[in-house]
């Protein structure tokens, strides 16, 4: 029940105008009416890593789990750091690089990919709830065409930036 109270506050937090998605054949299941978080055990939301929270959500929706990939994490963290250091909030950095460019620069050869951005959230669970509440961001969380992820976070307070990169690699 505490999540239903927190949800209106989440709507005031920053999220990008839409997820940046390069999914070849993503299946969108739509935004859940219960936001998906209430069904997760409280200890998962408060104590587990983001991967556990994300996979708990995906499991509750019948979607296969994703695994951590250090290269995707590198792309996500570098973008979060860059947004804080250069004071912007966008999928495209001031040099014109987008999420695909950042993913490929790590040596990852994506077949499908996507990136979610958020700002001002104080925890992994808060960032996830913000993305769940946005149809385009939620589409990436539900994508069955991705099987790996990386998460970056930088800054603090109003300047906190969250970057979730999800992808699958070509064979």
- Residue 125, pLDDT score: 87
Of 93, 84, 86, 85, the C-alpha closest to 115 is 93
Indicate if the pLDDT at residue 143 is higher than 50: yes
- Residue 5, pLDDT score: 30
Lowest-confidence segment of 20-24, 27-31, 139-143 by average pLDDT:
27-31
Per-residue pLDDT tens for 121-134?
A: 988 889 999 999 99
- Of the ranges 38-42, 68-72, 108-112, the best mean pLDDT one: 108-112
Name which residue leads in pLDDT, 107 or 5: 107
Per-residue pLDDT tens for 150-160?
A: 999 999 988 99
Pinpoint the alpha helices (H) of the chain.
2-11, 42-47, 50-60, 70-86, 99-105, 124-132, 135-142
Indicate if the pLDDT at residue 65 is higher than 70: yes
Lowest-confidence segment of 33-47, 93-107, 118-132 by average pLDDT:
33-47
Domains in the chain (CATH in brackets) are 60-169 (3.40.33.10)
What's this model's pTM, rounded to 2 decimal places?
0.76
pLDDT confidence of 141, banded at 50, 70, 90?
A: very high
Q: How far apart are CA 38 and CA 1, in angstroms?
A: 7
């Amino acid at each position: 029940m505490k999540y239903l109270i927190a949800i209106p506050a989440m709507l005031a937090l920053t999220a990008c105008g839409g997820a940046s998605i390069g999914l070849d054949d993503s299946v969108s299941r739509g935004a859940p009416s219960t936001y998906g978080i209430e069904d997760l055990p409280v200890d998962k939301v408060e104590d587990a890593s983001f991967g556990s929270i994300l996979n708990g959500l995906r499991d509750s929706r019948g979607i296969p789990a994703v695994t951590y990939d250090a290269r995707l994490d590198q792309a996500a963290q570098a973008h979060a750091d860059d947004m804080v250091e250069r004071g912007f909030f966008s999928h495209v950095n001031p040099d014109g690089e987008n999420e695909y460019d950042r993913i490929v620069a790590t040596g990852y050869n994506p077949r499908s990919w996507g990136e979610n951005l958020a700002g001002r959230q104080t925890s992994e669970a808060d960032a996830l709830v913000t993305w769940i509440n946005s149809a385009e961001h939620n589409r990436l969380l539900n994508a069955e065409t991705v099987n790996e992820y990386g998460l970056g976070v930088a800054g603090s307070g109003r300047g906190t930036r969250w970057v979730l990169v999800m992808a699958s690699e070509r064979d």
